[in-house]
Structures are given as structure tokens and as C-alpha cells.
Amino acid sequence: MSTTWAAPADTYPERPIRIVVPFAAGGGGDFIVRAWADKLSETLKQPVIVDNRGGGNTVTGTDVVAKAAPDGYTLLIVSPSFATNPTLMSKLPYRTPDDFAPVGLVITYAMGLAARANLDANDIPQLLAYAKNNPGKLSIATSGEGSASSMAAELFKSATGADLLSVAYRGAGPALLDVASGNVDLSFTGLSQIKPQLDGKRVKLLATSGLKRLQSAPDIKTIAEQGVKDFEAIVWWGILAPAGTPKEIVAKVNQALKVSLADPEVARRLEVIDGEVRVSSPQEFDGFIREEMVRWGKLLKPDPAAKTAAP
């Protein structure tokens, strides 16, 4: 097989490369890819086409790549839903992660916990006290089942025992808009989406979801700092290729991503996210995905023995 692929790997790329974004245009994944797609095109000396294939909680676009030729000309950007869908869905048209070749993790960032402006709580202790005194009355908007915001909400409920009603939306934008309108109480989402509403005083920021404070919001404490020990829920984005893509091609794309994401202009575009931009190795990304599958799988499907264990 290595002989068969030797020539394509040596001359790759010879035609346009397509990056499938399994979300509608205008969302987080779309923004992330378009921030560096033109630089990747310049680095690889071929056009890079961004192909939005939203639907099915990312399954539609992901399946397109799973069934694409393993030649490096069709790539996929993935986020936490890639790791949670196998637990949430009884049947998928592809095997996670075996039908894909990891290329690299490209960026991670913490979320903010936004609240409607008139909520009677300004930090996590006050929020938990409010939840305790008003059982069943607090709601939290998420950008769909299995999304990073949904997993953050589930982790927060599990870690604190807070009685929160999760309300799923078709994206972070509509979810946060309903918080700003006062229709929903809370939402985990990226700071780049929160900031316009925060500047307009339509929402307030109670905490951030990483283990360290964000440079763009240094005065806002993390959830862990506010008493929820070791709490961490991040958004991550990475690139996959179809399984069977030659390692030499994967390595070329990985190196091109490193060059592209190190570009000062790309860094400027991504500043609004306030995240860590670092292209991992394919091996590191493979291990990361598998760890995420186990971590969130345990949260979504708790061990029955743990429920019956003696206190």
C-alpha cells in the first residue's frame, strides 16, 4: 500500500483541498476555519474550499468525510460533539474515531458563563444559593445536545447539584440571544459571542470555564476558583482526514497548519476567542479524542454501580 501511495504523497497537493465544516455558515467552526483557510491555501499553494455541511448534530458533514477518498483532498473540522455523539446516538453511519485519520488539534478555549442582566446572582456562590432557594426555576441555554456548551452545563449540574433546566438551541447565537432577552437565565459560550451582549449590558459574566483566567477578562474568576474544585470545560477544534490517508500527506497538512496558524494576521483574527492556538501532532490528537470520548461518556452514561454504592 505504501508503494501505491508514494507518488501522490510526494506530489501532494496538486488540486484544491476541501475542508468540510459540519455546521451552518456563521457558526464557531466556520469562523475558526475561515480565519486561517486563506493562509493554508498560500502555504500549500492550492485553493482551500470551505464546505459547510450542517445537519444531524454534525453527523451529516462528518459522514461526508468518513466516506471520502483518503487522499488528503477532503478534510474535516471537529469539536466536542464528535466525541459525544457516539454516546448520545445509538447508531452512527461511521465509526468514531476509527473511520478517521487525526491531523491535529488546532485550538482550545474556555467559555464564559453568561447570565441575564437582571438575574439575582453575580457569581457562582450566589448562583448556587439562588438555585437552592428557587428549585426548578433556573434554565440554561445550550447550542445543541452534545455540544461544548451542553457538556459544560451537564458537568456544572453534576459537580454542583444545581437544579437547572437545559434548553437546546440550534447554535450558540440564538441561545445567547434568548439569555440577553431574558427568556433564559444562563448559557455557556465563547467570550467572542458574549462580549457584544456584555458591552450592551444585556448579559453579565459570572465565571469562566477553564482552569486559569482569560486575558480578555482577567477580573472574572474561573468556576474552579469560585469553589467548584477542578471544574474545567473547554471548546476544542481539530482537523481530521478519512481513515487510510497516507501518513506522509497527514504530516504535510499538519506542518502546513502549524505554519498557517503561526501567521501574525491569523493570530490577530483569533485574538477574539482568547484561546490557545497550538497544532498538536496527529498522535496527540488521536489520544485527546479518545480521552474526551471516555470523559464525556462517563458523564452522559454514569456507571450504574456508582449510584448504588454506599456513601
pLDDT digits (tens, 9 = 90+) for 155-195: 999 999 999 999 988 778 889 999 999 999 999 998 888 98
Best-predicted range by mean pLDDT (6-10, 32-36, 268-272): 32-36
Rg value, the chain, Cα: 20
CATH architecture of structural domain 2-107+236-300: 3-Layer(aba) Sandwich (3.40)
Q: Mean per-residue pLDDT for 218-241?
A: 96
Facing residues of 164 across strands? 138
The residue whose grid cell reads 457516539 is 86
Q: Residue 2: its pLDDT value, please? A: 41
Q: Residue 5: its pLDDT value, please? A: 45
How sure is the predictor about 7, in pLDDT bands with cuts at 50, 70 and 90? very low
Q: Mean per-residue pLDDT for 71-84?
A: 96
Q: Residue 3: its pLDDT value, please? A: 43
Helices and strands, number each (H, E), in the chain? 12, 10
* Residue 88 neighbours by CB under 8 Å, 6+ apart: 57, 145, 146, 300
Q: Residue 143: its pLDDT value, please? A: 83
Q: Is there a common fold for 2-107+236-300 and 109-208?
A: yes
Helical segments of the chain, H only? 2-11, 28-44, 59-66, 80-88, 124-133, 148-160, 172-180, 191-199, 247-261, 264-270, 282-300, 304-308
Q: Mean per-residue pLDDT for 48-66?
A: 93
d(CA 106, CA 275): 10
| Residues 145, 181, 118, 201, CA torsion sign | positive
pLDDT digits (tens, 9 = 90+) for 233-269: 999 999 999 999 999 999 999 999 999 999 999 999 9
Is the pLDDT score of 4 beyond 80? no
Is the pLDDT score of 71 beyond 70? yes
How sure is the predictor about 29, in pLDDT bands with cuts at 50, 70 and 90? confident
Is the pLDDT score of 56 beyond 80? yes
Mean pLDDT of the chain: 91
Q: Mean per-residue pLDDT for 33-49?
A: 97
Q: What is the DSSP string of 31-64?
A: HHHHHHHHHHHHHHTS-EEEEE---GGGHHHHHH
Q: What percent of the chain has pLDDT over 70?
A: 94
Q: Mean per-residue pLDDT for 57-86?
A: 95
Q: Residue 303: its pLDDT value, please? A: 47
Is the pLDDT score of 95 beyond 90? yes
Is the pLDDT score of 300 beyond 60? yes
d(CA 168, CA 175): 8
How sure is the predictor about 302, in pLDDT bands with cuts at 50, 70 and 90? low
Of 143, 179, 196, 23, the C-alpha closest to 152 is: 143
What are the residue ranges spanned by the domains of the chain?
Answer: 2-107+236-300, 109-208
Q: Residue 271: its pLDDT value, please? A: 87
Asked whether 109 and 273 are in contact (CB, 8 A), the reply is yes
Instruction: Look up residue 281 and give its three cell numbers.
Output: 501532532
Q: What percent of the chain has pLDDT over 90?
A: 77
CATH number corresponding to 109-208: 3.40.190.10
Is the pLDDT score of 47 beyond 70? yes
| Residues 283, 285, 291, 297, CA torsion sign | negative
* Of 43 and 168, the one with more pLDDT: 43
d(CA 95, CA 98): 5
Q: Mean per-residue pLDDT for 101-122?
A: 96
Is the pLDDT score of 86 beyond 90? yes
